Chains A and B, each alone.
Chain A
Amino acid sequence: MSAGSGASVSDKCIETFQELKLRKKYKGIIFKIENEKEVVVESTSDEPDFDTFASYISENYQDKPRYVVYDLEFELSEGEGKRSKIIFFLWNAPGSRIRERTLYTSSKAYLRLKLNGISADVQINDYDDFATVKENILNSK
């Protein structure tokens, strides 16, 4: 184990993630840390457009870091159909307090290790990063 906070992860997190991954029930999941102790599911989203989802996160979580999973769907070139990739990111809200920031950063690995099938694990520090991440993922398809 690397240096970390020792936080735990609720079973609901894994269940919800499985529903997104296997049954495509949701597009996105937002996780938060409750009482500085346990990672829990805060909300789920059905927003199909990544850019709209990105705006939602950056507007509503200006000062609150979160962990986010999003199922990014994209068209392959020349009508080869659609693909999707599940991305995981730590939203390191630009206006967050240092305590929150350190809490989420040092607890990330615990959640991340429980989620299997993530194709990209990235760090998003501000709104601009969403575009870069999307671009990198589309380029690497």
Chain B
Amino acid sequence: MSTFGGDEVSAIVLDVGSCWTRAGYAGEDSPKTVFPTYYGYIPENRVINKSKLGASDLGGGEGSQQVEKKTEKYVMGDSEISVWREYMEIRNPLKDGLIQDWDALEHIWDYALSKRLSVNPVEHPLLVTEAAWSTREIRETLTELAFEKYNCLAFYTVKNPVLTAFASGRPTAIVLDSGAATTSVVPVFDGYVLKKGMQRSPIAGDFLSDQILRQFEQQKITLNPQYLVANKSFTEPDTPAVFTKRDRSNTTDSFHRFQAMKVIHEYKETVCQVFESTYNEAIIASRPMKSFEFPDGFNTSFGPERYKVPEILFRPPEFTIQPQETGVDVGSYVGIPGMIYNCLATCDVDMRANFLANLVCTGGSTLFPNFIDRVYQELNPSFPGHRVKIHAPVNSVERKCSAWLGGSILASLGTFHQLWISRKEYDDHGKVIVEKKCE
């Protein structure tokens, strides 16, 4: 058996999530770099010659990548894509956690490997994480990409929930992952994903952000993202904003939306929270309001609405604003407790106790205050005679990057070298080897 035998070089671990990409060296306890999976795209006919003007001298060269043969331009990196550029679209190569746009994915890999980590992939094995519902085609294309384009020393791919379960110390667990694009509940048994028990819903962070945008519209709040604000003055709460607006013609809708989402992110993190038990309007109305200042200086306080939007995670049909306009068939999705319930219903009854005692939470949308308590409150009465235990790391790196972290440690273990797909194996068997080696 020919295996990859060099444990002296550290492996690279790459986790491309639907909102953030994490990359770093195996064995380290946090990723070296975390940057948005979103990227800026300027079409061929709109790329402006650098000497002429504009946007590029605002940002500096660090993250921008000029593709020489085509003239279209990809812009990567958090600060880079936040700089306003005429005609720049903001796009995302993933849909429902799966890779759709392979050209863009290559740009993300390039950026992560050469710009952020400054490594030559020829010298390193590469471990890539993937969604539990990833397809054979995707895994094979990833393998091909790693060996053909990047000439990696060796390659391996592991499913996110398995890595999360490993990092939590539980080979058997139910992994609840509520991230940006997807909320999923995946049963993992001794390191295997039990596919038939997997539950998936698009009601996650991005959906909530979109709902908050609608809530602002209903409240007649105009959201002016930072890029439109030249300067602002102090105003009393609930009085119209006094600010100078920048002239930003030829801004794309996607750029404006991306900027608006940044504001909403901050709103979500500072204002929103989950109600700790069954939603109760009367109690919530008596809770103190929380104020939020928008980039244009407008500030106001939010009461019940700060509980209402996160409540969608628990009861989608009842709490979604304008459900028919979301593009999601909201009525067909159950909330998180229902997903866990459905997941358990597909599993062997004998395994139920073990699963319930080992529920692992991960993903940014589980970070709402009271989220964990609420999940517990909803589940516990549904399973009398069982002990429900939820594991959610307090450390936010562990919560946001659990899959990366699991991959980092796994790939750094001395014994792992025999599992990598080596260059030779790839040359002998082709891309189909991935199905055999990375089960």
How many chain A residues sit at the interface, stated as a range, is 20 to 34
A105 touches B354 (CB 8 A): no
Cβ proximity bits A35-56 to B, threshold 8 Å, 1 near / 0 not: 1110000000000000000000
Q: Which residues of B contact A107 (CB under 8 A)?
A: 415
How far does the alpha carbon of A37 sit from the alpha carbon of B167 in the complex, in Å?
Answer: 18
Is the CB–CB distance between A105 and B165 below 8 Å? yes
Give Cα distance in the complex from A105 to B170, angstroms: 6
Taking CB atoms and an 8 Å cut-off, the chain B residues in 153-181 that contact chain A are 158-159, 162-163, 165-172
Q: Is B405 an interface residue (CB 8 A)?
A: yes
A125 touches B167 (CB 8 A): no
Shortest CB-to-CB span from A5 to chain B, Å, is 5
Say which residue of A37, A65, A98 sits within 8 Å of B398 (CB atoms).
A98
Q: Which of B167, B357, B405, B413 is A123 in contact with, Cβ under 8 Å?
A: B357
- Interface size class for chain B? 35 or more
Q: Does A117 touch B at the CB level, under 8 Å?
A: no
- Given known pairs A102-B410, A123-B358, the reply for A96 and B415 (CB within 8 Å) is no
**The residue from B163, B167, B190 contacting A101, defined by CB atoms under 8 A apart:** B167
A122–B354 CB distance below 8 A: yes
Chain B contacts for A125, CB-based, 8 A:
169-170, 357-358, 389, 391
Q: Which of B159, B168, B413, B414 has the most CB of A within 10 A?
A: B413
Evaluate contact between B415 and A105: CB separation under 8 angstroms: no
Q: B31-39, B74-82, B416-424: which one contacts chain A? A: B416-424
Considering the chains assembled together, what is the distance between the CA atoms of A93 and B403 in angstroms?
20
Q: Within the complex, which residue of A6, A8, A102 is in contact with B409, where a contact is CB–CB below 8 Å? A: A102
Set of chain B residues within 8 Å of A122, measured between Cβ atoms: 354
Q: Which residue of A lies closest to B413 (CB)?
A: A5
Among B172, B410, B439, the residue within 8 A (CB) of A1 is B439
Docked Cα-Cα span, A5 to B416, in Å, equals 5
Provided the pairs A37-B415, A96-B169 are in contact, do residues A2 and B398 lie with their beta carbons within 8 angstroms? no
Tell me the complex Cα distance, A129–B388, Å.
11
A35 touches B166 (CB 8 A): no
Given A105-B171, A123-B354; A98-B387 close (CB under 8 Å): no
Cβ 8 A contact of A6, one of B170, B353, B405, B416: B416
In the complex, which residue of chain B has the Cβ closest to the Cβ of A90?
A: B171
**Chain B residues closer than 8 Å to A105, beta-carbon distance:** 165-166, 168-171, 191
B438 interface residue per 8 A CB criterion: yes
A2→B439 contact, CB < 8 A: yes
| A3-B158, A108-B190, A125-B358 as given contacts; A101 in contact with B415, CB under 8 Å | no
Could you tell me if A123 and B172 are in contact, using CB atoms closer than 8 angstroms?
yes
In the assembled complex, how far is the CB of residue B188 from the closest CB belonging to chain A, in whole angstroms? 9
Contact, CB under 8 Å: A109 / B171 = yes
The docked-state distance in angstroms from the alpha carbon of A84 to that of B86 is 75
Distance in angstroms from A3 CB to nearest chain B CB is 5
Residues of B within 8 A of A103 (CB): 409, 413
- A83: Cβ under 8 A from any B Cβ: no
Q: Is there a chain B Cβ closer than 8 Å to A23's Cβ?
A: no
Q: How far is the CA of A107 from the CA of B169 in the complex (A)?
A: 11
Q: Does B192 contact A (CB under 8 A)?
A: yes
B176-213 contact mask (Cβ, 8 Å, vs A): 1 or 0: 00000000000000111000000000000000000000
B357 contacts A132, CB within 8 Å? yes
Of B172, B354, B415, the contact of A36 (CB 8 Å cutoff): B415
A106 in contact with B410 given A96-B169, A101-B168 (CB within 8 Å): yes
User: Contacts of A90 on B, CB cut-off 8 Å?
Assistant: 169, 171
Contact B438 A98 (CB under 8 A): no
B415 & A102 in contact (Cβ 8 Å cutoff):
no
User: At the interface, yes or no: B93 with Cβ under 8 Å from chain A?
Assistant: no
Chain B hits for A3, CB < 8 A: 158-159, 162-163, 166, 191, 410, 438-439
Contact in complex: A106, B439 (CB < 8 Å): no
Indicate if the CB atoms of A4 and B387 lie closer than 8 Å: no
Residues in chain B near residue A123, CB distance under 8 A: 170-172, 354, 357-358
* Complex CA distance for A6 and B191, rounded to whole angstroms: 13
User: CB-defined interface of B391-413 with A at 8 Å, one 1/0 digit per residue?
Assistant: 10000001000000110011001
Whose C-beta in chain B lies nearest to the C-beta of A65?
A: B169
Given A3-B438, A102-B169, A136-B353, answer yes or no on A112-B190 (Cβ-Cβ < 8 Å). yes
Docked-complex contact A99 and B190, CB < 8 angstroms: no
Interface status of A7 (Cβ within 8 A of chain B)? yes
A92 to B158, CA, bound (A): 22
Whether the pair B168, A6 counts as a contact (CB closer than 8 A) is: no
Given A3-B191, A132-B357, is A92 in contact with B169 using a C-beta cutoff of 8 Å?
yes
Please name all residues of chain B whose beta carbon is closer than 8 Å to the beta carbon of A104 when the two chains form the complex.
Answer: 169
Q: Determine how close the nearest CB of chain A comes to the CB of B335; give it in whole angstroms.
A: 26
What are 23 A-B residue pairs whose CB atoms fall within 8 Å in the complex? A1-B439, A3-B410, A4-B191, A5-B410, A5-B413, A6-B413, A6-B419, A7-B415, A36-B413, A36-B414, A92-B170, A98-B29, A101-B166, A105-B166, A105-B169, A105-B171, A105-B191, A106-B413, A122-B354, A123-B172, A123-B354, A125-B169, A132-B387
Further 10 A-B residue pairs, CB within 8 A, beyond A7-B415, A37-B415, A104-B169: A4-B419, A101-B166, A101-B167, A102-B166, A105-B170, A109-B171, A125-B389, A129-B357, A132-B357, A136-B353
